[in-house]
Each structure stands twice: as C-alpha cells, then as structure tokens.
Amino acid sequence: MRLLTTIALMMVLSSCSKTETLAVDPVFSDPNWIRIEIADGKEAHAVYGSIDDTLLVSTLYAIHQTTDNAKTWNLTKKDHQAIFGFLAKADTVFALYAHLPKSQSNQALASYSDYFTLDNGSTWKNADQFKVSKQRSQAYGLVRPNNQVTLRIKENLEPINGSPNASIVLKSDVEIVKNGTSDLLDLPFNNQITNLYLDKKGRLYVSATCSIHDKISGKYLDYEKSQPAIVYISKRPILDVIN
C-alpha cells in the first residue's frame, strides 16, 4: 500500500512540475510564527536543539547546523537519504535513519541510528566503528507539550478512482488532541508538513518542504522557486498559541 501511495504521489508531482513554477513571495510575516530556510534543501525533516543557540536540521540529503539564529548554516554531514529523527541521550545525539510508517501501537517511528554526535552535530561518528548499538527509536511526527495535549501530523489521502490501495497524498495537517477531542492547528502556510519538534521552551518546530498545496482541495499545486528546506517555529510556547 505504501509503495502504491508513493507511486501515486510521484505521478502527481511529475505532472505538476512540468508547469511554470509559481512566483512564491519569499517574505513571511506572522505574529505567531517565524520561518527559517536552508537553501536548495528541498525538504526539512528532523530538528534538534534550539534556534536560540545550536539547531540541527536534516534536509533531503544532509544535516545542517546553525549557531546564529539561522543566518548561516554549516553542512556537517552529507547523506544519501533524509534523517527522520534526532534522539538525545545524555551528551549524545543519535541520527535515526529509518522511517517505520506504523508500529504495533499504530504510531509511526523514526529508528535505526547509524551515526551519532558528541558535539551538537559539528561532527558525526559511525556507530559500527565504535560498536554502538543502532537499535533506537522514537515517535515520528508527534510531540506532547504536556500530559493533556498531543500534537501529531495528520496525513490526508484521497483514493484514486475509489481504490483502497492507491491514493494521492494531500497536504498534511497538525492535529491537536486534547481531553479526548480533536482539532486542527491553524497554520499560516501551505507547505507540506514532514515532522514536528518541541524545544526546551515549548516552542513548536514544524518541518516542511518546498511543495505548495491548494488551500481548498489540499492537492499539490507547485513548489517554491528556490526549493528551500523550511522550518516554521512558533514564537511562543505552542500551548500559549493553542489556548
């Protein structure tokens, strides 16, 4: 099913990419959110750290680090794929390379730590070389600001000709689950969402791609001209934004 869904998405992207790219206004201004970009990154995935000091962001094929509020970025590791999670244990941060769509508890996971860093992502070490276990995992696309509130990515699919095995991937949302009720987080952008992260101040980081979706249908429309990897960050703790 996952393969057919991916093939369907690729067909949609291929057909849309032949059209002229939209002249997307790069200026972003919102009272609750800031936007940071990594040039030519195409997709942002895992995030770790804080915009206030050291921040790690994985893009489509690399890991980038910034220490100056995203004014400049250091490419600290090139890869053949995206990193789907950063897992911190004491003074070590592990890069999780596998994306498991659903676990036994119906929760997507980021797993399998091929590499790790001891200096906040400035350098990376191979787990095999140092005989470090790779068997690590964490929830993917889900964060919990407190015990009562869960934020998670809501994947939206549209079956192709009514088929249960092939779907078009529509724009994803951020779902708020609180006290048994569900709502959608109001976000001021239409980029595709890939992952969520909370920093120590409770601010939400929403990883996104350069893909643009129609506001009404949610279908893929185009992509931003410079094809950056994008992260949107709440200016305040996300619980203050929600409440």
Average pLDDT over the chain reads: 88
Considering its fold, how many domains does the chain have in total? Answer: 1
Residue 159: which CATH number?
A: 2.120.10
The continuous run of DSSP H or E covering 55 comes out as strand 55-58
Q: What is the CA radius of gyration of the chain?
A: 18
Q: b/e string for 62-88 if b means 16 or more Cβ within 10 A? A: bbbbbeeebeebeebbebeebbbbbbe
Q: Is the pLDDT of residue 10 over 50?
A: no
Give the confidence band of 102 by pLDDT, cuts at 50, 70, 90: low
Q: What is the pTM of this model?
A: 0.88
pLDDT tens per residue, range 114-151: 999 999 999 999 999 999 999 999 999 999 999 999 99
**Residue 180 pLDDT exceeds 60:** yes
In this predicted structure, the answer to whether residue 112 has a pLDDT above a threshold of 90 is yes
pLDDT digits over 48-93, tens only? 999 999 999 999 999 999 999 999 999 999 999 999 999 999 999 9
Show the domain range for 9.
Answer: 2-242
Task: Return left, alpha or beta for 217; rule: phi > 0 is left, psi -120 to 50 is alpha, else beta.
Answer: alpha
Residue pLDDT, tens place only, 207-239: 999 999 998 999 999 999 999 999 999 999 999
Return the number of other C-beta atoms located less than 10 Å from residue 152's C-beta: 20
Q: 191 forms bridges with which residues in the sheet?
A: 212
Return the exposure string of 124-145: e unless at least 16 CB atoms fall within 10 Å of the residue's CB, then b: beebeeeebebebbbbbbbbeb
pLDDT at 23: 42
Handedness of CA 219, 221, 227, 232 (dihedral sign): negative
Tell me which of 70 and 103 has the higher pLDDT. 70
16-57 pLDDT, tens digit each = 333 334 444 457 999 999 999 999 999 999 999 999 999 999
Maximum distance among all alpha carbons in the chain?
51
Both structure tokens of 128 = 């095999």
Q: What average pLDDT does this structure show over 192-205?
A: 98
Q: Residue 243: its pLDDT value, please?
A: 81
